[in-house]
Amino acid sequence: MPIDYTEQIKLIALKIRTLRKARKLTVQELAYRCDIERSNLSRIETGRSNPTVKTLCIICNALDVPLRALIE
């Protein structure tokens, strides 16, 4: 069974947004912690961007979660 990458990107996006909100961070605050543009983080959170593993690791570090938390 093939993996639908667009669906996986949306699931990861939802997890990032959920974790950010659980930590009571705005998109701007998380973007600042990650040293990325707010608009880029917004695109990632809405599933309109395909982030690199490096970017996902940076986001995980800022949220203090392992990468596994986004893909499980």
**pLDDT tens-digit series, residues 12-64:** 999 999 999 999 999 999 999 999 999 999 999 999 999 999 999 999 999 99
Tokens describing residue 16: 């990032």
User: How are the residues of the chain apportioned to helix, strand and coil, as percentages rounded to the nearest 5?
Assistant: 70, 0, 30
**Structural domains in the chain, sorted by start:** 5-71 (1.10.260.40)
Contact 66, 23 (CB under 8 A): no
pTM for this model (two decimals): 0.92
Secondary structure E strands in 1-72: none
User: What does the pLDDT read at residue 72?
Assistant: 84
Q: 56: which residues sit within 8 A by CB, 6+ positions away? A: 12, 67, 70
User: What does the pLDDT read at residue 11?
Assistant: 96
